[in-house]
Structure 1
Amino acid sequence: MSTEQLKNLVIDKISEIEDENFLQAIKTILDTNKATAGIYKLTEEQKQKVKIGLTQLDNGQIISNEDLEKEEDEWLRK
């Protein structure tokens, strides 16, 4: 079965459904698929945070995961 045939079959089946809850569930699935398939748009605040992070990286302001875990352990003991 081709993609086009499958789409038409699904459309035909959906058009026969009368159960509003079931249709809402299908809509949720379709909305979720659309959201994950598209390009993620960052907010201005998120863009600023990314810029700050890149600047810190360029300036060598980094910490290894091991050192970070040590700092976390110390912080949690206080």
Structure 2
Amino acid sequence: MNTLELKNSVIAKINEIHDRDFLLAIKTIIDAKTSKDYSSTDYNNDILKAEEDIANGYLVSHEEIKAKMEQWKKK
């Protein structure tokens, strides 16, 4: 499978996913790979956002993540 075929395959699979949390995780990975100007300011803003999420209780335990991963594997 060449790069173009692989990209198209990944895009097709992503289009089948409706799990918002999973899509956000994919977006984070893609953003990190494609960001050319990720500065210390961006990093600090991301840390502040993460701390805000924690303070607001937007947490997912390791066990919950493992369970979700098992569900994704079955699909």
TM-score (norm 1): 0.46
